Structure 1
């Protein structure tokens, strides 16, 4: 349950103000069809985070538990710092060939998530908890918690969110996870 809750919370907080959330706002304004946009976000996230989580679990078989603990601890601290750096959205992320609302959302979200902090967090969380299904379910729910309101409410909520505060909370959680991992929390998980 811890893996699910931590994965959900971290991604939901980290996603606020993220480029993929900005993409959700733009797609919602452009197409005004929330259901195919939401389904596109869900499918893109499941595939992207599923692959990222698989990489995270695979990494656990390549390195020793001690090395993995240090890599994860430093990675979580790095994620804390990265979370405090605002994302820049490229308009090109929203311009795709005519594939319909679902297809455009699916491809745009999948590509926008490549190398994004929430994808990297999924890799680290899957390595930390070694429970692919639970981590991917959590990160996907976190993504949906942040992006569904963006699609449904669009500009009405965009300027009301305290993005810096939310990013600060997410950064603090990443930092605590990093320090706890470096201090040996998770040794019961084989780390």
Structure 2
């Protein structure tokens, strides 16, 4: 349960103000069809995070636990720094519109998540917790928590959330997890 909840919380916070949330705003404003947009986000996230979770699960078979601990700790600290850097949305990401709302959303979100901080976080969390399904379900829920309101409420919602504060909280969580991992807290706490 911890892997699921931490994964959901970390990704939901990291996603606030992310380019995919901006993409959700733009798609919602352009198409005004929330159901296919939300379904596209869900399917793209499940596919992308399942891939990332599989990589995280595979990595633990390659590295000794002490090396993996250092890699994960540094990765989480790197995620903390990356979370503080604002994202920009590339308008060319919205050029897939000719394929329909669902396919446009699915492809745009899947590609936007490739190498994104939430995908990297999914890899690290899957390696850390070694619970593929809990992590993928949690990170997917975190994406939906952040992006469904963006679809339904549009720009109005984003202007009311202090994005810098949310990014700071997400960065602090990543940093704490990273330092705790480097200090071996995970082993002592059972993850």
TM-score bracket, shorter-length normalisation = over 0.9
Q: In 2, Cα distance between the equivalents of 1:189 and 1:20?
A: 33
2:116 corresponds to which residue?
A: 116
Where 2:66 maps in the other structure, the secondary structure is helix
1:61 corresponds to which residue?
A: 61
Shift of 1:178: 0.3
**Contact 1:28 1:152 (8 Å CA) reproduced:** yes
Runs of 4+ in 1 over 4 A off after TM superposition: 188-191
Q: In 1, Cα distance between the equivalents of 2:46 and 2:36?
A: 15
Shift of 1:94: 1.5
The answer as to 2:76 corresponding to 1:76 is yes
Matches within 5 A, 1:109-148: 109-148=109-148
The answer as to 2:22 corresponding to 1:18 is no
Of the structure 1 ranges 42-51 and 86-95, higher mean CA displacement relative to structure 2 is found in 86-95
Deviations 1:146-173, CA, capped at 9 Å, x for gaps: 0000000002212111000000000000
Q: In 1, Cα distance between the equivalents of 2:158 and 2:68?
A: 38
Shift of 1:141: 0.2
Q: How high is the TM-score relative to the length of structure 1? A: 0.97
Where 1:115 maps in the other structure, the secondary structure is coil
Q: Say what the alpha-carbon RMSD is for the aligned residues.
A: 1.3
Shift of 1:95: 1.2
1:149 corresponds to which residue?
A: 149
- The size of the alignment, in residue pairs, is 191
Where 2:120 maps in the other structure, the secondary structure is helix
Structure 1: gaps spanning 5 or more residues = none
**Contact 1:8 1:139 (8 Å CA) reproduced:** yes
Matches within 5 A, 1:163-182: 163-182=163-182
Shift of 1:98: 1.4
Greater percentage in helix: 2
Where 2:115 maps in the other structure, the secondary structure is coil
Shift of 1:182: 0.5
The answer as to 2:8 corresponding to 1:8 is yes
Where 2:161 maps in the other structure, the secondary structure is coil
Shift of 1:111: 0.3
Shift of 1:104: 0.3
